[in-house]
Amino acid sequence: MPMPHRTQMQVIRRRLVGKEGNARLRELRSILEELPDYKNGPYADIRKWVMTEMAATRGRARMLHRDSLSVRKEGAAQLAIVGPPNVGKSTLLQVLSNVQIRTGDYAFTTTRPVPALTRVNGVLVQLVEIPGLIAGANEDRGGGRGLIGVIRTADDVVLCHDPALGPDPLLGVLVELRAAGVPRPRLLVATKSDEAQPEAIDALRAACGDMTVLTVSVLDEESLIALRQALWDLTGLVRIYLRRGDHVEGEPKAFEPPVVVVDVADAIHHDLAARCAGARVWGPSARFPGQQVGRDHVLVDGDVVEILG
């Protein structure tokens, strides 16, 4: 004889405590096999509840999979390019990185995050184009939850907007970012500035308050150079050039500040860090070219360093 149905339901709930995903599904299948195969009555209701719970568990698993979009970080920093749909994000990423992206004059041309590496001030930086965010992104409209998850893991956010569309779509994106706990972005790239009316750009600046607004056109090389510098400033990284004898390496190593001599030695090799006695330094942090400094000397952007072992 089966136990009273109320007791059976209590046992089932205890068996499910702390179980989710595949573990919960396995337990629910086991419970279903053990239940009497009654077509009516309380035990039929319990079977129905178990089957409903199995469907709900599968739904949560699918939601978790969809929300767990991720982009593997590459380069010295990862910057997320964020904005409403169809504001020129893909074109901008294509020009900055030479990656080939499908573009079009309609919303949601890009449906998943697109990463691309670009060299900024000699350092590889990863840009990630985020598909257009819309109102309700935090409730998963347009797959917003997964996209916001990618934004959260980026080192910083670059907003993009077409001034011709007016500030409202951009303000909607800012609302979603704020609701998701993403810090307010510091940089807004006003795209297609060669086509924008001055009053449209002025309206965008007024709506953004203290945010830096940079007008950019993919047809204007000077504006792209200014954008690269603005991206570098966002990273906050420090470039250190390595010197061996009379040879200075062409590509710098990038560090998060503060960086000292022993940090540079450790980036070359752990053993070198252990025996590092200091360095000779050329550049902004040195009082004179080739100054000999200790292991804990603080370096700044643009320094040239020869490690002394």
10-residue mean pLDDT series, the chain (309 residues): 77 80 84 85 87 81 56 93 93 83 51 90 95 88 87 95 95 94 95 92 91 94 96 96 94 95 95 96 97 98 95
Q: Which CATH code fits 78-235?
A: 3.40.50.300
Alpha-carbon gap, residue 244 to 305, rounded angstroms: 9
DSSP 81: E
Residues of the chain with CATH 3.10.20.30: 238-308
User: What distance separates the 2 farthest-apart alpha carbons in the chain?
Assistant: 92
Assign domain 238-308 to a CATH class.
alpha beta
pLDDT of residue 64: 47
Per-residue b or e along 111-145, where b marks 16 or more CB atoms closer than 10 Å to that residue's CB: eebbbbebebbebebbbbbbbbbbeebbeeebbbb
How many distinct helices (H) and strands (E) make up the chain? 10, 14
Alpha-carbon gap, residue 132 to 203, rounded angstroms: 21
Look up residue 83 and give its two tokens. Answer: 């904005």
**pTM given for the model:** 0.74
Residues of the chain with CATH 3.40.50.300: 78-235
Alpha-carbon gap, residue 238 to 300, rounded angstroms: 6
pLDDT of residue 144: 86
pLDDT of residue 67: 45
CB atoms within 10 A of CB 261: 27
Look up residue 237 and give its two tokens. Answer: 């990284």
In degrees, rounded to 5, the angle at the alpha carbon of residue 154 between the alpha carbons of residues 118 and 190 is 65
